[in-house]
Amino acid sequence: MATEVVPDAPRLRAGRRERALAQMRAHDLDMLVLGRQANIRYVTGAPQLWIAGTRPFGPMCVVVGGSGDIYLNSTDDEGVPDEIGRDHLYGLAWNPMTLIEVLKNIDGAATARRVGTDAITPTFARLLPEAFPNAELVDGELAMRAARRIKTPDEIAAMGPALRIAEGGLAAALAALRPGAHERALAAAMFEAMTAGGVSTPATQDGAWVTSRERPWRRADSGEVAPGDLVAFGAGALADGYVGEVGRTWPAGGEADGPARRLYERSEALYGKMLAACRPGAHTDELLAAYDAAGEPLPRMPIAHGLGLGFDPPVVSPALSAAGDDRLEAGMVLALSGYVWEQGVGTVFRRDTVHITDDGVDILTTAPSWGPA
């Protein structure tokens, strides 16, 4: 069955583009040269080829601040919105000078004063001044981060398919959980269900792990589920460019004994305090402080990160707690993660995708929060 490649919905891409242009004005950018896949899709609405790993920077998209014109590197117009005409498409070239000649011919390139790029390499740091001879090259990723950190209502709706598929993968993995199963088989069940749901590009590759009873927040050495083990599941799906994540811990054998039940209760208490910290104007360090308020030690890994077209700011972790005055705002979407551990029992891990609103926090994931009682 063939699947037609179509651009993002008109209202979705228009809302994102308005935010990007507003941030160009706020950062005094005449032009924005983009090479990062998520940024290109954000401003164009054209689906991008997903690849594993990183890719080198190249001038794959140019946004003109004054006119709002967009120039896109594409070999054809499949999936390209109508407002980006064929005369604004340019082909792939192995010779970087060919791309520089394209940029030179964009209206306004010769007179631009400030040009932002979302990344740079030594080659293009040397060549881009030839395309923009009167411009100062500056960090354009700051403008894109500011635009992307706040989601439009249409973006919130667009995240729904990724969330539902991630939750379907989680449900399939939970159904396969039993003593004697290997964590690789549980992850395979998750990814198989997500693929059947239409997504073959998971946001993470480590879908299931047996939590260690001896080392905090670590995985057990064997990888095979034993009776009474607490098994953590992290499902993430990339659908229509957007990422949705959900994580839960389930006891092998279907029942939580007394110590495990108390650990779940501690997890619920911690998570309640983390959710209470998710309000507009709150400093991101309040999410870290929720652990102290709940009497739980902080894990070494991030406890929250932004979601959208890939991963967006902020990233909240103990290592970054002193990295500036970063505050939560209405419209942010976070993957919120809680970890509690007990010697001899293991870890209870919970992750939800949450939307910060003017009135507080809206939990977008719907999976049950507990393992079976």
**pLDDT for 205 beyond 90:** no
Confidence (pLDDT) at 94:
85
221 C-beta neighbours (distance < 10 Å), count: 10
Query: Mean pLDDT, to the nearest integer, of 62-69?
Result: 96
Confidence (pLDDT) at 102:
95
Return mean pLDDT, the chain.
92
80 C-beta neighbours (distance < 10 Å), count: 22
CA separation for the pair 55, 330 (Å, rounded): 32
**pLDDT for 373 beyond 50:** no
Identify the band that residue 324 occupies on the pLDDT scale cut at 50, 70 and 90. low
Confidence (pLDDT) at 55:
75
Confidence (pLDDT) at 322:
55
Confidence (pLDDT) at 372:
56
Confidence (pLDDT) at 257:
82
Confidence (pLDDT) at 354:
98
CA separation for the pair 41, 28 (Å, rounded): 22
No. of H helices and E strands in the chain?
10, 14
CA separation for the pair 158, 8 (Å, rounded): 9
240 — alpha (psi -120 to 50), left (phi > 0) or beta?
Answer: left
pLDDT digits (tens, 9 = 90+) for 343-365: 999 999 999 999 999 998 999 99
Query: Mean pLDDT, to the nearest integer, of 307-325?
Result: 82
Confidence (pLDDT) at 1:
36
CA separation for the pair 111, 131 (Å, rounded): 10
Q: How far is CA 351 from the centre of its chain?
A: 14
Confidence (pLDDT) at 51:
60
Helix runs in the chain, H state only: 10-26, 37-44, 96-104, 122-131, 141-148, 153-158, 160-175, 183-196, 258-277, 285-293
pLDDT digits (tens, 9 = 90+) for 281-302: 999 999 999 999 999 999 988 9
Q: Name all domains of the chain by residue range, CATH numbers in brackets.
A: 10-149 (3.40.350.10), 153-363 (3.90.230.10)
DSSP code of 8?
P
- Which has the closest alpha carbon to 241: 20, 18, 48? 48
Q: Please give the C-alpha separations between residue 331 and each of 156, 263, 308, in angstroms, as whole numbers.
A: 9, 32, 11
Query: Mean pLDDT, to the nearest integer, of 200-208?
Result: 86
301 C-beta neighbours (distance < 10 Å), count: 11
Query: Mean pLDDT, to the nearest integer, of 232-254?
Result: 93
State pTM to two decimals: 0.92
226 SS3 class? coil
Least confident of 64-73, 296-305, 324-333: 324-333
